[in-house]
Amino acid sequence: MCLAVPGRVLHIEEGPLLTATVSFGGVTKDVSLVLVPEATVGDYVIVHVGFAISKLDEQAAQRSLEAFAALSELGEPEESAP
């Protein structure tokens, strides 16, 4: 359920819906920031059906990726894919 995708806020319009232009790999869509009013230009937000539902915590994402990298390092020598 709940297909939601991270995109980057390019521009925010004032107004009751806080409509922002959000870029998803270059494609842009109008997204309402009413549910995430703290988001600012440059932030990544997670978007579901035209609404940002959270501001992506870039540090947390980085921590996850580092943990994955550490796990891969310590992982076994290159072996055939499962």
Interface ranges with other proteins (CB under 8 A): 1-8, 16-17, 21, 23-29, 32, 34-37, 44, 46-51, 53-54, 56-58, 60-61, 63-65, 68-69, 71-72, 74-76, 81-82
Report the helix count and the strand count for the chain, using DSSP H and E.
1, 5
Nearer to other proteins, 12 or 47 (CB): 47
Radius of gyration of the chain (CA): 17
Shortest Å, Cβ 8 to other proteins: 7
Shortest Å, Cβ 58 to other proteins: 7
Helix (H) or strand (E) holding 7: strand 5-12
